[in-house]
């Protein structure tokens, strides 16, 4: 079940604590410079973890972008 993008906007943009959480998640998992890790199989695992964590934040940011499109119509 997919939630309406406006729900994401209310939680992450319309609420002070939601903004803080998104800021922390973005800084910790989305904006990191070292997504790809060298080092054989261990590096591959670390890279997969980093990209997986980043994809969750990208999903949230995508839903927020959809909410902006809905509200600007």
Model confidence pLDDT, tens digit, residues 20-73: 999 999 999 998 788 999 999 999 999 999 999 999 999 999 999 999 998 887
Q: How far is CA 47 from CA 1, 23, 28, 56, 62, in A?
A: 29, 22, 15, 15, 22
DSSP, res 14: S
Distance from C-alpha of 1 to C-alpha of 43, rounded to nearest angstrom? 34
Residue 30: both structure tokens together: 């989305």
Distance from C-alpha of 3 to C-alpha of 62, rounded to nearest angstrom? 13
């Amino acid at each position: 079940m997919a939630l309406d993008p406006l729900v994401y906007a209310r939680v992450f943009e319309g609420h002070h604590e939601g903004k803080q959480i998104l800021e922390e998640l973005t800084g910790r998992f989305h904006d990191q410079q070292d997504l790809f890790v060298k080092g054989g199989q261990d590096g591959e695992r670390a890279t997969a973890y980093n990209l997986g964590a980043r994809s969750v934040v990208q999903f949230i940011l995508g839903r927020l972008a959809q909410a902006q499109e809905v509200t600007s119509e």
